[in-house]
Amino acid sequence: MSIKEFFGSSEEKISLETIINIRWIAIFGQIFAICFVYYYLKFNFEVLWCGALVIVSVVINSYLEFKKSKIGELNNLSATFNIFYDLVQLALLLFLTGGLTNPFSILIIVPTTIATTFLSRNSSFFIAAVSIILCSVLALFNFPLPGPDGETLKTPKYYLLGMWLSTTIGIIFLGNYAYQLARSNRKRSKALEGLEKTLSNEQTLSSVGSLAAAAVHELGTPLATISLVSGELKKQLSEKKEFKEDIELLISQADRCRLILKNIGTDPKQEDDFLQRVSLKNLLNEIVFSNERKHDKKIIIIDKLEHEPLKINKQIEITYALRSLIDNSIKFSKSEIKIFIEKNNNDLSIIITDDGPGFDDEILKKIGEPYIKSVSVDKTKLGLGLGLFISKNLLERTKAKIIFENKKNGLGAVVKIIWRYEDLIN
């Protein structure tokens, strides 16, 4: 196995410019600390060796400044080696200035935190392991911590042990915390990418539908002209056999085109209106009837606005989210799903209920996270998280409020979607 294969690849990309900027901050901090302690506090320590280590970093970083435009983003292996170098350089500075007794020894945690945020798991473990090893070495071997008037500050062994223990725990705890946080963000980013892709596909389909309707309208006039002229030519040239077959072929092909256009759509204005304005009941009926999942569940739509028909702007986000939520209810219900359409003052709401097992308490606490798993009645594992996450985010884009809960008797899930009416018609 090669080194590159061992460290693997990272889903996150870290730019060389980011590494360079972080290193410049570290370099300026190191220069300030060295100058302050040596010239202002007048502590005696290995200042020349410390200065040499800083100069090496300055040279490396200056070289990378010239290369950053060509390199751009670093692969996982290159980023690992860069962070490894920064870790070793910091450890050598600490070795020359008191080891773990140096107040700045806490900074040895930083490389691990950066690694676990951006790099692969193996790279993160490698940097964390090296950090802990270097901490152990610095606790046992180091130049004395400089003090005033050339004094050497003595540190009790128990205090040194405590410093080693706290630094090691800090590396493990903060490294794990940063890793889990970065992992969660990556999952959320993936889910959002899926959301954007879904929306893009829906918008493409909608655009194709509108384009088809427009094409029917625009092609209808020239096609009618072709049919009319062909008919006149047939009358005038009916006695000439050399033209008769060609004219009949032209007429038949024109009729065929008319039939094709008729199948695509006949009234672009109606199609456009269908795409833009719709009642909630018609929208729900469309979603229910177009559901591709075969099922024997009974779906009842109860419209409490039948005497007050309201049309809303048909939005891709609403259509997709409702389809996903209804499909989810079909998965988990025993036999029946009820969908209520209600209006309370200026609020318009859709309530989806089913007679399934309801939401598990743990799921209710984490609802809307990208990757939750649940188990249905027949113990078949079905992914809930991504679908609910996408639906929730889509509906929130339309300024909806979404509430997930269980029925009072505990038998069945309830999803409430509430909008201000103005947000749906504007």
Q: What is the mean pLDDT of residues 181-192?
A: 76
Query: Cα(117)–Cα(248) distance, rounded to whole angstroms?
Result: 73
Residue 399 is given by DSSP the state T
- Please spell the DSSP secondary structure of 217-280, one letter per residue: HHHHHHHHHHHHHHHHHHHHTTT-HHHHHHHHHHHHHHHHHHHHHHHH-S-HHHHHHHHHEEEH
Q: What is the mean pLDDT of residues 223-240?
A: 77
Check whether 208 has a pLDDT greater than 60.
Answer: no
Check whether 193 has a pLDDT greater than 80.
Answer: no
Nearest 5°: the CA angle 61, 67, 70 is: 150
The pLDDT of residue 195: 65
| Number of Cβ atoms within 10 Å of the Cβ of 368 | 15
pLDDT in tens, 24-33: 999 999 999 9
Q: Dihedral sign for Cα 6, 11, 12, 13, please.
A: positive
Task: Name beta bridge partners: 373.
Answer: 383
Query: Cα(43)–Cα(34) distance, rounded to whole angstroms?
Result: 10
Residue type, 10: S
Total residues belonging to the chain: 426
pTM for the predicted model, two decimal places: 0.57
Q: What is the mean pLDDT of residues 57-61?
A: 95
Highest mean pLDDT among 164-178, 310-324, 392-406: 164-178
Q: Give percent of the chain with pLDDT exceeding 90.
A: 31
The pLDDT of residue 189: 73
User: Which of 426, 404, 410 lies closest to 418 in space, CA to CA?
Assistant: 404
Task: Decide if 135 contacts 167 (C-beta within 8 A).
Answer: yes
Task: Name beta bridge partners: 350.
Answer: 341, 417
User: Which of 297, 399, 385, 393 lies closest to 348 in space, CA to CA?
Assistant: 399
The pLDDT of residue 212: 62
The domains of the chain are located at 3-192, 197-273, 277-425
pLDDT in tens, 118-163: 888 899 999 999 999 999 999 999 998 887 776 777 788 888 999 9
Question: In the CATH scheme, what is the code of domain 277-425?
Answer: 3.30.565.10
Residue 416 has φ and ψ, to the nearest 5°, of: -105, 130
Two tokens at 31?
Answer: 């220069």
Task: Decide if 300 contacts 336 (C-beta within 8 A).
Answer: yes
Q: What is the mean pLDDT of residues 200-223?
A: 63
Query: Cα(166)–Cα(106) distance, rounded to whole angstroms?
Result: 9
Least confident of 173-182, 262-271, 277-286, 383-392: 262-271
User: Which of 419, 397, 425 lies closest to 313 in space, CA to CA?
Assistant: 425
Q: Dihedral sign for Cα 409, 411, 415, 420, please.
A: negative
Two tokens at 394?
Answer: 């889509």
The pLDDT of residue 294: 62
Task: Decide if 145 contacts 102 (C-beta within 8 A).
Answer: yes
Least confident of 113-122, 298-307, 350-359: 298-307
Helix locations, 146-240, DSSP H? 157-236
Helix (H, G, I), strand (E, B) or coil at 202: helix
Check whether 288 has a pLDDT greater than 70.
Answer: yes
Query: Cα(365)–Cα(355) distance, rounded to whole angstroms?
Result: 21
Q: What is the mean pLDDT of residues 324-339?
A: 88
Burial 329-353 (b: 16+ CB within 10 A, else e): bbbbbeeebbbbbbeeeeebbbbbb
Long-range contacts of 303-306, Cβ-Cβ distance < 8 Å, separation of 24 or more: 303/341, 304/340, 304/341, 304/342, 304/343, 305/280, 305/281, 305/341, 305/342, 305/343, 306/281
Strands 401-406 and 381-383: unpaired
Nearest 5°: the CA angle 277, 282, 288 is: 130
The pLDDT of residue 272: 46
42 Cβ contact list (under 8 Å, min separation 6): 148
Burial class (CB in 10 A: 0-12, 13-18, 19+), 32: exposed
Task: Supply the mean pLDDT for the chain.
Answer: 81
The pLDDT of residue 274: 46
